[in-house]
Amino acid sequence: MVHDQADSLRRQLEISKHPREAKTISFVSGKGGVGKSNIAVNFSLELCRLGNKVMLIDLDIGMGNVEILLGLHAEKTIVDMLQDNLPIYDIMEVGPNNLSFIAGGSGLANLFSMDEYKMDYFLAQYQSITKEYDYIIFDMGAGATQASIDFVLASDECIVVTTPEPTSITDAYSMIKHIISYNRQVPFYVVLNRADTIKNGLRTVDRFRKVIMQFLDIEIKLLGILPEDKAVSAAVIHQAPFVLGNEKTAITKSIKQLAEKYSNNVVGSTIEANTSFIDRLKDLLRNR
């Protein structure tokens, strides 16, 4: 039928416009030290184990520590790529579970205020890998600098990490308010980390989601509640991600559940955007 043909043609055009670009996820928080990097690292490793191809990019300006958590040493960083016009493949490291990793490097702040030539170079290099991955995950620094916010705004999803402490919760609220002041379309998830019990964690998230709905009029989906667990600092000390250690620790069980739930799309699908991360990032940068 003509109608079916038109439908199928439209679908094909849509597919060829963005053939399987990686989904881009930003990990953010208001307050620092809430567990973003540990969660981003272990979540990424779990997505790999579940059969996905994942790239983790440390975008914590000045204080990136993902390589330490992964027990890797990044020979080169995004800063080197831009200074020496290196291909993006030259700055990639391969970690456990075949996880790809790129370090931001110190002086990364300048990346975000770079000239147009360097920005175009960065975008072209980034674009060259987007079709090779299922997920590209950014570990952002705490808070939002003018420089890094564009990456969050252009992401397909934003995962907000908070602990149950009131200071962490209020900072997470402010962060979300700040992000939506630029763009209300960014789909948000919340991860409550360092919960004493699941029951208390659920209660806290419930209140948080209601406040966000009431005052900011947006929905933030619960991605998961992660327990307080000494295995996290032990893993940091040993520079070996906890999901690769004892399977029976509470934190490992919880993050595995969280990654499975995410990967099976149980938390609910996000908005199907018509544009890609790179299109959105270009728009944001050009309109600065």
Residues in touch with Mg ion (CB under 5 A)? 36-37
CB neighbourhood size of 217 (10 A): 9
Site for ligand ATP (CB under 6 A): how many residues? Answer: 20
Q: Which residue in 24, 25, 26, 29 binds ligand ATP (CB under 6 A)?
A: 29
Answer whether 172's CB lies under 8 Å from 136's CB: no
Nearest-approach distance from CB 193 to ligand ATP, in angstroms: 5
Compare residues 40 and 212 and give the one whose CB is closer to ligand ATP. Answer: 40
Concatenated DSSP letters of 186-198: --EEEEEEEES-H
Residues forming a β-bridge with 26: 138, 158
> Is 142 near ligand ATP (CB under 6 A)?
yes
> Is 80 near ligand ATP (CB under 6 A)?
no
Compare residues 37 and 77 and give the one whose CB is closer to Mg ion. Answer: 37
> Is 243 near ligand ATP (CB under 6 A)?
no
Compare residues 38 and 276 and give the one whose CB is closer to ligand ATP. Answer: 38
> Is 106 near ligand ATP (CB under 6 A)?
no
> Is 109 near ligand ATP (CB under 6 A)?
no
> Is 150 near ligand ATP (CB under 6 A)?
no
Q: Which residue in 152, 232, 259, 285 binds ligand ATP (CB under 6 A)?
A: 232
> Nearest-5° angle of CA 73, CA 75, CA 79?
115
Residue 164, contacted partner among ligand ATP, Mg ion, none, CB below 5-8 A by kind:
none
Compare residues 27 and 262 and give the one whose CB is closer to Mg ion. Answer: 27
**Binding segment (CB under 6 A) for ligand ATP, from list 7-15, 51-59, 178-186, 231-239:** 231-239
Answer whether 66's CB lies under 8 Å from 108's CB: no
Q: Which residues form the interface with ligand ATP (CB under 6 A)?
A: 29, 32-38, 60, 141-142, 193-194, 226, 228-229, 232-233, 236, 251
